[in-house]
Amino acid sequence: MKIIDFARKGNYVRFYLGEDEDATYSGSGWDDYGYKENAGPVSPEHVRGTTDLILPLDWDIREP
């Protein structure tokens, strides 16, 4: 399994997991210019599981 997408809300992060061999995963708007402004979450058919991470509220969370 590998992380193929994530969603963050406050101190809560959900990682979407997919198969290691799957190199074709995509989502709505992923092929549009301006990825950060247009991209939606990964398409559900590529998700094989999720895992959640809850971080302390006093941590400064920065996206890569």
Long-range CB contacts for residues 56-63, cutoff 8 Å, separation at least 24: 56/11, 57/10, 57/11, 59/11, 61/8, 61/11, 61/13, 63/8
- pTM confidence score: 0.71
pLDDT at 34: 60
User: Mind listing the pLDDT tens digit for each residue in 7-30?
Assistant: 888 888 899 998 888 777 767 656
Name the residue ranges covered by the structural domains of the chain. 2-54
Q: Are 18 and 48 within 8 A, CB to CB?
A: yes
Which residue did the predictor score with more confidence, 35 or 25?
25
Please check the confidence at residue 40 and state whether its pLDDT lies above 90: no
Helix (H, G, I), strand (E, B), or coil: what is residue 33?
A: coil
Closest residue by Cα to residue 4 from 12, 13, 32, 19: 19
